[in-house]
Chain A
């Protein structure tokens, strides 16, 4: 269990100590929230959609968690290149514990960021439907965070250098963000696009958060959570397996 604690603690310390990283990863969701929220708000209201900030906030929280979680996972390639990965790989602890601690650390950090974005959005005018639902929203945040940290770790385990990073951002991360329904409702999109969106884990994450934060959702929240949990477990398994096979 020591190994899980060590790896978890290390992720936390690295995040908290890198002020530039914190500011950077906070700035983006805030920018989206302010620019899009205030920019598209009037149009959204005119189209009969209601308050856009209310609609947008759960999506932006989901986005910020996904970005940070994936990047924390993929960050492993730096450990690979700068040696610390070796130090952990030769330690007499099961690799499953190392990778689980690392994932847990990344997920904790990303959840923390999600909570801060939620608080900041409340300053910008967001009103959660009920205080009592917030703990459930945080639980969903953690699930999203775990899912995408595992996803990033799986990628980080097979990627040997940073070349593929741009590809991942453009072909995986951004499409998942746009198809998640974070920015706009998917109801009126072509059926084909909606089928693709149904394969996007973030879609269920954002939907579940909407359900707890604003009380409106496309799907049954239980189903959302069941799907998120299933994908998380699958990715935890795949990520651990790929990690355990790393050769240097």
Chain B
């Protein structure tokens, strides 16, 4: 087995706050790796550092041989990502969102069009392909977002809470597809989720993060064994405690409100 993601004492601080506190872990090529943790544990910050969106304060990351902090362009060739929050262009159609993504990732035209059709049919948006994304419901946007992330078949695929807000049928459907891709193409999957069953069913290995550090990493069976629990959810709660987490008030929320005022004015 070869190591495809290597993280060594990765640190990210905002002022005095250590969002990610010297974490280390490895992911093997072709593995489906679950990255779990309560809200505000530092999962998304970690993913941002892995995907070149944020520079680490200290520590080293290697993605398929490249350091995202040193050679971001090379590193970006190795991965694809489905973000936790929306990253579609509302004022383009579903098809245009897919097409532009494929062009940015240099997927050759015939293959691109074949995959766009296949994926849009897969997420059941094919008959809405020429509609503007702003007319879509939350679930439809989510499905389109996932379809777009699967378009270019990267070496490593990051899925940051990909199935948030989707019904169980759709979640199942999507996970089957992702697992198949991973098997057929040896694609490495790195995902976060709050649905423990999803992680239990699909992950080869799991890391659990809390308060900026990794509190456990192992296979699902070992995690349950070590915590003497019956399922992953119980193991998760035992490892991270029962207290409720409050995420710092998000400045995107503030912006959403202002945008309404803004677009109303023009």
User: Which residues of A are at the interface with B, using a C-beta cutoff of 8 A?
Assistant: 2-3, 5-6, 9-10, 13-14, 17-18, 20-21, 24, 78, 81-84, 86-94, 160-162, 247-248
Contact = CB atoms under 8 A, between A and B. Distances in A.
Contact of A81 (B52, B81, B91, B255): B255
Contacts of B103: 2-3, 5-6
Given A6-B103, A81-B259, A162-B259, 19 more contacts: A5-B103, A6-B100, A14-B89, A82-B86, A82-B90, A83-B86, A83-B87, A86-B87, A87-B83, A90-B81, A91-B76, A91-B105, A92-B105, A93-B104, A160-B251, A162-B255, A162-B262, A248-B53, A248-B54
A6 B105 CA distance: 11
Given A83-B86, A91-B104, A13 B53 contact: no
Contacts of B104: 2-3, 6, 88, 91-93
Contacts of B199: none
B53 A90 contact: yes
Contacts of A86: 53, 83, 87
Interface residues of B, number: 36
Interface of B: 48, 51-55, 73, 76-77, 79, 81, 83, 85-92, 96, 100-101, 103-106, 251-252, 254-256, 258-259, 262, 266
B100 to A, nearest CB: 5
Nearest to B152: A92
Contacts of B101: 87, 91
30 contacts: A2-B106, A6-B100, A6-B103, A6-B104, A10-B100, A13-B96, A14-B89, A18-B91, A78-B259, A81-B259, A82-B90, A83-B88, A86-B53, A86-B83, A87-B83, A87-B101, A88-B104, A89-B53, A90-B52, A90-B53, A90-B79, A92-B76, A92-B104, A93-B76, A161-B251, A161-B255, A161-B258, A247-B54, A248-B53, A248-B54
Nearest to B75: A92
A18 B92 CA distance: 11
Contacts of A6: 100, 103-104
A96 to B, nearest CB: 10
Q: Which of A20, A91, A93, A248 has most chain B Cβ within 10 Å? A: A91
B83 A83 contact: yes
A224 to B, nearest CB: 32
A93 B52 CA distance: 13
Contacts of B53: 86, 89-90, 247-248
